[in-house]
């Protein structure tokens, strides 16, 4: 089965989609595709078959999202915790992933036509090398596409992602690119695997579980959470519509909460800058209290310098991430 | 065409709102109806007693603030207390740490205090109260007073409960007293992402001072910094009140495996509502990735 499904919605679906689109639509939807194994058990099929059906459902869901003008989708494909499953199942999932990424590379032209950019979020080092190389190929070859985005979380947990972001910032401090006092909420967000995406507007979990299971904890702090009882392979267009409707009902209040949070974030940043400037003036101000104008100038100067530092650091970080992929690819060529 | 779709969308939203209002109205009606039935049954039982000249204890509980002074209500309280405890024991599993997330415009201190007291009475050790405006944190003394008042009113021994209010940041660690007594904490958005940022800053500072290498930073290291003490686990259950389906910034690091259960409102919440949520939680199973 391929990644991209062609085909239009039927008439009723199209009308419903248009009605929904008259309201505020989520731009980025995240899915926890739960229930593949329960589905397999229910239908008395092999576990692996359940995972296959789950993938097919993903391709179908992407088609619906395209018709609903949802440009970005993030899915939880494989958690670091999933390595704890039986060796048999883990191997099966790795084989499935390999097949799917190979298939994806075959469909490159089609991906280009639809402008699909694929990103993989997680610690790829935990995966077998051949899978890493396939992923690198897929990511690099679709990097420039910009119509729709599919983020696949693989070997991912949110706590690991946050920890990794802290590690990256500490690396920046080690290199002397940033100071420890530059660490802020905004900078941490920029160091996550998801740095190139806006935060999801809507998170959908299927199969009736009501927890996040270490998925996008940071990014979904002001997202609409929808828990649905249907098993993932049985997910339908109408389930998706229901979730979007729920998002629309929540839209105003969540937007308000987001604005409040943004205001607060700006306030915290200003306070932090102020503290740094005050310390600086105390050390270099010859003990004389600075007047208000001078302090204001110093504050502005400090903020500009901080932004420059952070900009340079983020650029270096992006280069480091890019070179990880190119190294993998050149290794593959040599091999 | 676009106009028609817009109109239809509005109509759809309106219908959903009506549906919601109807459901919540029915729920309240059903409850009050059940309550009245219960009251009547109690009255029928107590009628002979009332005829014998003892004042009706049913009324007293609600009206007499000095409830403990009355021996009849005192007994009633004792009965209630043991009922709460046995309810807690009868559940398959009980959270050690519960979060109460208020996603409503106007918080009611009395209802939240009630909830906190009930949670502690059934045997939950840690109760965290959160709202995304930080209202409870700003008025924490008011909530504290209310909790103590409700404890007295319900006849729960106040000295057994340790109410502490976390403000953010550095004094967090000194604040905590190691104890097995139940405690209530009031959280605000600052305890969420901002506390992760502070932990990150702390680690980066130690890297800056060459005490540590960036490669040494691990999940468990960050977890240690974000956990105020070893004895307080992550909340296993968060009860969210209100119509907004979002965590609204509630402790992002700590809700990795937290179950979220929603109730339409915390206003006029009853003990039975809470018990229903705890029962639902008791039936949930976690596979932890397996």
- Confidence (pLDDT) at A78: 94
Query: Per-residue pLDDT averaged across B141-158, rounded?
Result: 81
- Residue A180 · residue B209 · CB < 8 Å: no
Query: Per-residue pLDDT averaged across B54-59, rounded?
Result: 42
Give me the residues paired with residue A162 across strands: none
pLDDT at A287 over 90: no
- Confidence (pLDDT) at B229: 67
* A214 interfacial to chain B (CB closer than 8 Å): yes
- Residue B112 · residue B266 · CB < 8 Å: yes
- Confidence (pLDDT) at B177: 41
pLDDT at B60 over 50: no
- Confidence (pLDDT) at A5: 83
Residues of chain A contacting B132 with CB distance shorter than 8 Å: 257, 260-261
- Confidence (pLDDT) at A294: 84
Percent over 90 (pLDDT), chain B: 45
Q: Which of B203, B217, B244 is the closest to A250 by Cβ? A: B244
Residues of chain B contacting A22 with CB distance shorter than 8 Å: 2, 5-6, 8-10
Burial of A39 (0-12, 13-18, 19+ CB in 10 A): buried
Residues B70-81 pLDDT 10s = 455 556 677 777
| Record: contact B289-A79, CB cut-off 8 A | yes
**Torsion angle of alpha carbons B153, B158, B160, B165, nearest 10°?**
110
For residue A134, the distance in angstroms to the closest alpha carbon of chain B comes to: 25
Mean pLDDT, chain B, integer: 80
pLDDT at B174 over 60: no
Residue A268 binned pLDDT confidence (cut-offs 50, 70, 90): very high
For the packed helices A11-21 and A47-67, what is the interaxial angle rounded to 10 degrees?
Answer: 60
Residues of chain A contacting B207 with CB distance shorter than 8 Å: 170, 173-174, 180
For residue B24, the distance in angstroms to the closest alpha carbon of chain A comes to: 16
Burial of B38 (0-12, 13-18, 19+ CB in 10 A): exposed
Residues of chain B contacting A183 with CB distance shorter than 8 Å: 197, 200-201, 204
- Confidence (pLDDT) at B49: 55
Residue B4, token pair as written in the block: 């028609």
- Residue A204 · residue A71 · CB < 8 Å: no
* A19 interfacial to chain B (CB closer than 8 Å): yes
How many Cα neighbours within 13 Å face the side chain of A62?
A: 26
- Residue A148 · residue A115 · CB < 8 Å: yes
| Record: contact B204-A173, CB cut-off 8 A | yes
Residues B238-269 pLDDT 10s = 999 998 999 999 999 999 999 999 998 899 89
List of long-range contacts for A40-46, beta carbons under 8 Å, 24+ apart: A42/A231
- Residue B114 · residue B170 · CB < 8 Å: no
pLDDT at B169 over 50: no
For residue A225, the distance in angstroms to the closest alpha carbon of chain B comes to: 5
Q: Report pTM.
A: 0.88
What are the C-alpha distances in Å from B202 to residues B74, B217, B219, B252? 52, 11, 15, 18
Higher-confidence position of A166 and B23? A166
User: What residues 63-122 of chain A have any CB closer than 8 A to a CB of chain B?
Assistant: 79-82, 84-85
Percent over 70 (pLDDT), chain B: 76
| Record: contact A173-B207, CB cut-off 8 A | yes
Query: Per-residue pLDDT averaged across B223-252, rounded?
Result: 90
For residue B66, the distance in angstroms to the closest alpha carbon of chain A comes to: 41
| Record: contact A223-B133, CB cut-off 8 A | no
Residues of chain B contacting A165 with CB distance shorter than 8 Å: 200
Residues of chain B contacting A80 with CB distance shorter than 8 Å: 289
pLDDT at B211 over 50: yes
Residue B46 binned pLDDT confidence (cut-offs 50, 70, 90): low
| Residues whose CB falls within 8 Å of the CB of residue B11, separated by 6 or more in sequence, listed in order | none
Q: What share of chain A is helix, strand, coil (3-state, %, to 5)?
A: 60, 10, 25
Residues A213-244 pLDDT 10s = 999 999 999 999 999 999 999 999 999 999 99
Return d(Cα A214, Cα A46) in angstroms, integer.
27
Query: Per-residue pLDDT averaged across B111-125, rounded?
Result: 92
- Confidence (pLDDT) at B178: 39
- Confidence (pLDDT) at B56: 43
Burial of B64 (0-12, 13-18, 19+ CB in 10 A): middle
pLDDT at B59 over 70: no
Residue B153 binned pLDDT confidence (cut-offs 50, 70, 90): confident
- Confidence (pLDDT) at B179: 44
Residues A149-176 pLDDT 10s = 999 999 999 999 999 999 999 999 999 9
Residue A234, token pair as written in the block: 């049985």
* A320 interfacial to chain B (CB closer than 8 Å): no
């Amino acid at each position: 089965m391929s990644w991209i499904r062609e085909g239009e919605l039927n008439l009723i679906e199209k009308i419903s989609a248009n009605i929904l689109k008259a309201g505020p639509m989520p731009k980025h939807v995240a899915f926890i595709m739960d229930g593949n194994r329960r589905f397999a058990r229910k239908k008395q099929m092999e576990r692996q078959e359940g995972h296959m059906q789950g993938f097919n459902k993903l391709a179908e869901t992407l088609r619906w999202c395209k018709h609903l003008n949802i440009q970005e989708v993030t899915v939880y494909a494989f958690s670091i915790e999933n390595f704890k499953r039986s060796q048999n199942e883990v191997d099966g999932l790795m084989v499935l992933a390999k097949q799917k990424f190979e298939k994806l590379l075959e469909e490159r032209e089609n991906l280009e036509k639809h402008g699909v950019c694929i990103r993989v979020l997680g610690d790829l080092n935990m995966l077998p090398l051949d899978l890493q190389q396939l992923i690198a190929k897929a990511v690099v070859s679709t990097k420039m596409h910009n119509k729709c985005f599919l983020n696949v979380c693989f070997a991912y947990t949110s706590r690991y992602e946050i920890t990794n972001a802290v590690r990256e910032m500490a690396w920046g401090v080690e290199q002397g690119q940033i100071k420890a006092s530059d660490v802020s909420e905004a900078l941490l967000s920029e160091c996550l695997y998801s740095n190139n995406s806006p935060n999801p507007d809507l998170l959908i979990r299927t199969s009736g579980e009501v927890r996040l299971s270490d998925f996008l904890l940071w990014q979904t702090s002001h997202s609409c959470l929808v828990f649905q009882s249907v098993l993932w392979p049985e997910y339908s267009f109408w389930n998706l519509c229901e979730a979007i409707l729920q998002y629309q009902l929540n839209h105003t209040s969540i937007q308000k909460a987001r604005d409040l949070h943004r205001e607060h974030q700006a306030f915290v940043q200003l306070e932090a800058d102020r503290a740094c400037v005050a310390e600086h003036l105390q050390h270099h101000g010859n003990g004389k209290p600075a007047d208000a104008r001078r302090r204001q100038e110093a504050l502005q100067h400090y903020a500009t310098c901080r932004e420059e530092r952070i900009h340079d650091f983020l650029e270096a970080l992006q280069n480091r991430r890019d070179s990880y992929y190119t190294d993998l690819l050149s290794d593959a060529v040599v091999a | 065409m676009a106009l028609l779709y817009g109109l239809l969308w509005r109509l759809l939203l309106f219908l959903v709102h009506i549906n919601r209002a109807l459901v919540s109205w029915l729920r309240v009606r059903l409850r009050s109806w059940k309550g009245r039935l219960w009251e009547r049954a109690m009255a029928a039982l107590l009628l002979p007693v009332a005829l014998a000249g003892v004042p009706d204890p049913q009324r007293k509980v609600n009206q007499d603030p000095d409830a403990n002074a009355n021996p009849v209500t005192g007994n009633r309280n004792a009965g209630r207390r043991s009922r709460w405890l046995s309810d807690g024991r009868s559940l398959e599993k009980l959270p050690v740490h519960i979060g109460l997330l208020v996603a409503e415009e106007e918080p009611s201190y009395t209802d939240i205090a009630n909830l906190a007291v009930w949670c502690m009475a059934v045997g939950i050790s840690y109760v965290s109260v959160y709202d995304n405006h930080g209202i409870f944190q700003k008025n924490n003394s008011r909530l504290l007073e209310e909790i103590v008042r409700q404890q007295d009113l319900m006849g729960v021994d106040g000295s057994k409960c340790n109410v502490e209010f976390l403000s953010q940041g550095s004094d967090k660690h000194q604040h905590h007293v190691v104890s097995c007594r139940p405690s209530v904490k009031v959280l605000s958005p600052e305890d969420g992402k901002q506390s992760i940022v502070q932990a990150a800053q702390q680690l980066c500072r130690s890297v800056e001072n060459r005490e540590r290498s960036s490669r040494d930073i691990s999940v468990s290291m960050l977890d240690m910094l974000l956990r105020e003490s070893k004895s307080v686990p992550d909340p296993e259950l968060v009860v969210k009140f209100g119509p907004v389906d979002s965590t609204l910034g509630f402790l992002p690091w700590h809700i990795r495996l937290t179950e979220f259960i929603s109730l339409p409102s915390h206003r006029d919440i009853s003990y039975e509502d809470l018990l229903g949520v705890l029962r639902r939680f008791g039936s949930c199973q976690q596979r932890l990735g397996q």
